[in-house]
Amino acid sequence: MDRVLLISTKVGALKDLEKNLAEKYHVATLPMSEANMLSAVGNAIPDCIIVYVESISRQKLFSLMDLREDERFAELPLLLLADDEDREVFEKNIEPKQDYYLDRRATNPEIRLCIEEMIATSDRQKHILIVDDDVTALKTVRSYLDERYRVTGVKSGRLAIKFLERQLPDCILLDCFMPDLNGAQTLQIIRSMENGRRVPVVFLTGVSDKQMVLNCLSLHPNGFLLKPVKRDDLMSKINEVI
């Protein structure tokens, strides 16, 4: 699921935009008053940024200046929602400037259409988390993905949970059969976490244990693949879920 970062001077506008986009995108929100946006965003790098400004001043833009000066955020496409006066203040202070501009009275369909274009042109590399206690299987799956995605591999459900406390991947490939925490137990915990509520999860299994499969499917994962998984099948599933 693509990620959108919403930043606004108005709490009401922030909530309205989030409600409009939450069904289709993973949405993070920040008030313009946030003193340290870089810290608040952490490692969950979005695919695009939307900034809503109203009666803006240079002082109110200081934290956004810091965000855009960070190399991870400087290259992300940015949509500015503003009137002409606020746009002028924004462009005098923020570098790089916005890539897209709409009047802040733009309709929801106009905003969504612009987001689609922004994401289509974004160069952010998607991040895949592989969770598998079988080192050979983990290395094999990673070799399929390394050229196209940023990949992190961990060997247990507990390590996956620790990873999610710090970062938000675009997709998780989760082995069903692992010691300590199996795939179903791991996914239950992931879904209870702020960083894991909506991240796509695809189960991988090399054993056809009917009860385990049923337990995993009852958690409504985004996919289920049998190991040894074929490269084309894996790439097709990842493209489908993210």
pLDDT in tens, 206-238: 766 677 777 777 778 888 898 888 999 999 999
pLDDT at 155: 94
Task: Give yes or no for a contact between 177 and 209, defined as CB atoms under 8 angstroms apart.
Answer: yes
pLDDT in tens, 141-151: 999 998 888 89
Give the Cβ contact number of residue 20 at 10 Å. 17
% of the chain with per-residue pLDDT over 90: 46
Is the model's pTM score more than 0.85? Answer: no
Highest mean pLDDT among 95-99, 122-126, 162-166: 95-99
Mean of pLDDT values over 186-193: 92
Beta strands in the chain (DSSP E): 3-8, 26-31, 48-52, 78-82, 100-103, 127-131, 150-154, 171-175, 201-205, 223-226
- Domain annotation for the chain: domains and CATH numbers: 3-120 (3.40.50.2300), 127-241 (3.40.50.2300)
Does residue 219 or residue 52 have the better pLDDT? 52
